C-alpha cells in the first residue's frame, strides 16, 4: 500500500485520468474530491462490498433457477397443441 501525506488543496493522480484532492480537513476526518471519467464507478468501500455481496447472491439465485429450468419438463398448453395441429393441417 502506498501511503502519502497531502495537505488541504493538494492532490494525487491515479493514472492519467483520476485526480484525488484533499478538499477539507476537520479533526480526524477529511473530505476528498475525485475527478474521474464518468465511465469509472466510484463507491465508498462499505457500499462497494454491499454491491459485491448482492451480485454474488443474485448470481447464485440465477444459477439455481437455471438449473431448475434445465431439469423441468415443460408440457405444451392446450392452445399450443391446437395451434400445432392447425399448422400441420395447413401444411398437408
What is the tens place of the pLDDT at every residue in 16-53? Answer: 999 999 999 999 999 999 999 999 999 999 999 999 99
Distances (CA, A) of 13 to 17, 36, 59, 60: 8, 10, 35, 37
Confidence of residue 89 (pLDDT cuts 50, 70, 90): low
The whole-number pLDDT of residue 66 equals 76
Q: Chain centroid to CA 77: how far?
A: 37
Kindly report the pTM of this predicted structure.
Answer: 0.60
Read off the C-alpha cell for 42. Answer: 466510484
Pairing of strands 18-26, 29-35: antiparallel
Amino acid at each position: 500500500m502506498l501511503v502519502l501525506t497531502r495537505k488541504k488543496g493538494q492532490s494525487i493522480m491515479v493514472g492519467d485520468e483520476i485526480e484525488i484532492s484533499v478538499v477539507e480537513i476537520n479533526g480526524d476526518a477529511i473530505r476528498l474530491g475525485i475527478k474521474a471519467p464518468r465511465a469509472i464507478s466510484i463507491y465508498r468501500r462499505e457500499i462497494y462490498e454491499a454491491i459485491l455481496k448482492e451480485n454474488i447472491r443474485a448470481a447464485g439465485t440465477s444459477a439455481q433457477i437455471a438449473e431448475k429450468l434445465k431439469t423441468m419438463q415443460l408440457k405444451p398448453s392446450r392452445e399450443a397443441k391446437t395451434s400445432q395441429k392447425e399448422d400441420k393441417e395447413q401444411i398437408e
